[in-house]
């Protein structure tokens, strides 16, 4: 992150500033203002919760200058600053922590957006599967195709939910080439994204979907309709 790199560059300049090395004043003032204004713009533009607290660190409204970073980062006359170096570091650390935390806040905001987009795609596929059934209720091949489409929509959405939460899907057994729906569901239960009861319901839906992909297995249109209906409802509830 560029602002963090800039803060790292500021640190040694502040050390020299407190040693009355006036050669750093210009560089400290420039970088100090770039860092402050960049951080403030990040917080303000995205309406992040740490803005007021960050401002308090930079320019405290109280008489206590404990967290007042502005005089130092503006390289004002050293003789006019009563705050010691240790006090500056305390305030600077707090301000930097607010900025770091703001990144996590931004990421947490992206989570529902990603999963909502995923559901929009899944809903389109569930609708296609529903239309296939409606137009081909007596055609076994098309009924099976509708079930496969619904399975892909459901499994992909659940995969996106896991990915957006940075969850690692563990293969069981580990020797498997790729993880499957069962591994995905195990992970979602383990991470408390879904309950064990929900997992059992999903197992029954995936069982229908698996039968659709195997011509030797009997497939009932009512089961495929349940797969589409319940799969779509479940996807809408897990974002």
Three-class SS state of 10: helix
Q: What per-residue confidence (pLDDT) applies to 186?
A: 93
Domain covering 110-237, topology: 1.20.120
HSE value, Cβ hemisphere, 13 Å, CA-based, for 201: 15
Query: What digits encode the pLDDT tens for the residues 141-187?
Result: 999 999 999 998 898 888 888 887 888 998 888 888 888 889 999 99
The CA angle 27-29-33, to the nearest 5 degrees, is 120
**Which ranges of the chain have pLDDT less than 50?**
65
Q: What per-residue confidence (pLDDT) applies to 205?
A: 95
CATH 1.20.120, the chain: domain bounds: 110-237
**In Å, what is the CA distance from 33 to each residue of 72, 227, 229?**
10, 58, 57
For the question of whether the overall pTM of this predicted structure is more than 0.75, the answer is no
**In Å, what is the CA distance from 32 to each residue of 63, 85, 216, 238?**
22, 15, 71, 44
Q: What per-residue confidence (pLDDT) applies to 111?
A: 56
What number of other Cβ atoms are within 10 A of residue 65's Cβ? 17
Query: What digits encode the pLDDT tens for the residues 123-141?
Result: 888 988 999 999 999 999 9
Three-class SS state of 179: coil
């Amino acid at each position: 992150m560029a602002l963090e790199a800039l803060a790292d560059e500021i640190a040694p300049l502040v050390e020299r500033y407190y040693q009355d090395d006036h050669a750093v004043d210009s560089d400290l003032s420039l970088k100090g203002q770039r860092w402050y204004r960049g951080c403030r713009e990040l917080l303000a533009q995205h309406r992040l919760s740490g803005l007021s607290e960050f401002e308090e660190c930079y320019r405290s409204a109280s008489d206590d200058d404990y967290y007042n970073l502005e005089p130092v980062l503006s390289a004002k006359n050293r003789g006019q600053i009563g705050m010691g170096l240790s006090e500056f570091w305390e305030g600077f650390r707090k301000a930097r922590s607010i900025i770091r935390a703001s990144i996590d806040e931004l990421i947490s905001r992206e989570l529902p957006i990603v999963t909502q987009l995923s559901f929009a795609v899944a809903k389109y596929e569930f609708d296609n599967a529903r239309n296939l059934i409606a137009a081909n209720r007596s055609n076994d091949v098309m009924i099976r195709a509708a079930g496969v489409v619904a399975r892909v929509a459901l499994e992909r959405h659940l995969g996106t939910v896991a990915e957006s939460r940075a969850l690692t899907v563990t293969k069981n057994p580990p020797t498997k080439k790729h993880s499957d729906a069962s591994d995905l569901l195990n992970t979602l239960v383990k991470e408390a994204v879904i309950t064990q009861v929900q997992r059992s319901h999903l197992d029954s839906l995936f069982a229908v979907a698996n039968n659709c992909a195997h011509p030797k297995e009997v497939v009932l249109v009512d089961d495929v309709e349940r797969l589409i209906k319940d799969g779509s409802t479940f996807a809408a509830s897990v974002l």
